[in-house]
Amino acid sequence: GAPTSVLLTSDYGRLLVLKGLVVGVVLACGAWHRRTLRTREAPGIWSVRGELLLALAVLAVTSVLTGTAPPAE
């Protein structure tokens, strides 16, 4: 495969890193919401909306990523 330096020097690599970071934040928000619900407290509407917007951002980045050519090896 291509070297890891391509992740930061190509559009495809930067989008892939961005997607990974946003997915990580969505997972962290989901874990936090789950923990909050286990203590029988409802999470705030803004945090739920934020998680939804981040999930939509993952879809948006993915749609751009599918139209971006991977770097040449």
Instruction: Confirm if 38 and 70 have CB atoms less than 8 A apart.
Output: no
Do 71 and 6 meet the contact criterion of CB atoms below 8 Å apart? Answer: yes
Residues 6+ apart with CB under 8 A from 29: 47, 50, 51, 54
Please give the Cα distance from 26 to 15 (Å, whole number).
16
pTM, two decimals, is 0.82
Give the pLDDT of the chain (73 residues) as one tens digit per residue.
567 777 888 899 999 999 999 999 999 999 988 888 888 777 788 888 999 999 999 999 999 999 998 887 6
